[in-house]
Amino acid sequence: MSDHPLRLGVNIDHIATLRNARGGTHPDPVAGAWAAIQAGADGITAHLREDRRHIRDDDLERLQTLCESENIPLNMEMAATEEMRDIALALKPRAVCIVPERREERTTEGGLDVAGGHNQIAPIVRALSENGSRVSLFIEAVEAQITAAVHCGAAVVEFHTGAYAHALDNGDVAKAASILEALKTGAKSADSQGLEVHFGHGLTFDNVGDVAAIPEAVELNIGHFVIGEAVFMGLEAAIKEMRQHMDAARQTQG
């Protein structure tokens, strides 16, 4: 069994997506965050995108107030821009995850190019860290990116599990197995270089087990699937079932 307890961060962006579809106030992502905390979420994750397509600035402020009053970290996902840096500096969330962002994408596709973007990313990591936020970089499990994350001064890396989930969805078991190996190797390397290891994107009840079983994993950030599943079974039950899958994988790990 791993030495690390495994944390579950619940990404509530898509409650805001549903709200914004009608332009009103319902369902409120902050009410969703509260329900997620009651169901046992260890953290709340929210992505303030440049186009504000789901989470908006006032949501983030209300989420920060809720999380601080519940003593739960808010993990703000953001692009490495000056606008987002300034918002995060003012908000002071306990955690920030820097992600790549392109306007036309449907979701965060691929990891951040930390190796190629050092000069842009490193000063933002430094400013946010000095301001009291624990900074994570959302990367592919590739050695050059892990080393670059260390050089940028990040405390955490979150490995992108989207390609793994996608390969399994497509029934490409061999590809999924090879991506899983890369995730395991990356986790070992990052951990040995002093980085805390998180994983996220595309995780479901069916695919979370092998990722949760990676011994270096400290946190999983899961959104779309649990919010989607909540339509059928309720948010509390969806989060509790996800947690059961994570815990079961952790207990059976060699």
Q: What is the SS3 assignment for 107?
A: coil
Backbone dihedral region of 142: left (phi > 0), alpha (psi from -120 to 50 degrees) or beta?
A: beta
Minimum CB distance to ligand PXP, residue 204 (Å): 8
CB of 227 to ligand PXP, least distance (A): 8
Nearest CB to ligand PXP, comparing residues 108 and 189: 108
Decide if 198 is catalytic. no
In this chain, which of 224, 237, 247, 248 binds ligand PXP, going by CB under 6 A? 224
Distance (Å, rounded) from C-alpha 125 to C-alpha 128? 5
Distance CA 133, CA 240 (A): 28
Measured on CA atoms in the order 221, 222, 223, 224, is the torsion positive or negative? positive
Asked if 158 touches ligand PXP (CB under 6 A), the answer is yes
Rounded CA gap, 9 and 12, in Å? 9
Is the link from the previous residue into 27 a cis peptide, with omega within 30 of 0? yes
Please report how close the Cβ of residue 225 comes to ligand PXP at its closest, in angstroms: 6
Output b/e per residue, 144-183; b: 16+ Cβ within 10 A: ebbebbbebebbbbbbbbbbbbbbbeeeeeeebeebbebb
Helices (H), 54-172: 57-70, 82-91, 118-130, 143-152, 162-169
Quick note: the x/- pattern for ligand PXP over 229-248, rule CB under 6 A, is: --------------------
Smallest distance from the beta carbon of 254 to ligand PXP, in angstroms?
26
Nearer to ligand PXP, 108 or 254 (CB): 108
- The verdict on whether 77 is a catalytic residue reads yes
Contact between 107 and ligand PXP (CB under 6 A)?
yes
Number of residues that bind ligand PXP (CB under 6 A): 19
In the set 125, 186, 223, 238, which binds ligand PXP (CB under 6 A)? Answer: 223
Q: Does 145 bind ligand PXP (CB under 6 A)?
A: no
Interacting positions 170-209 with ligand PXP (CB under 6 A): 200-203
Active-site residue flag, 241: no
Total residues belonging to the chain: 254
Residues noted as catalytic: 47, 77, 201
Give residues in contact with ligand PXP (CB under 6 A).
11, 13, 47, 77, 97, 99, 107-108, 138, 158, 200-203, 221-225
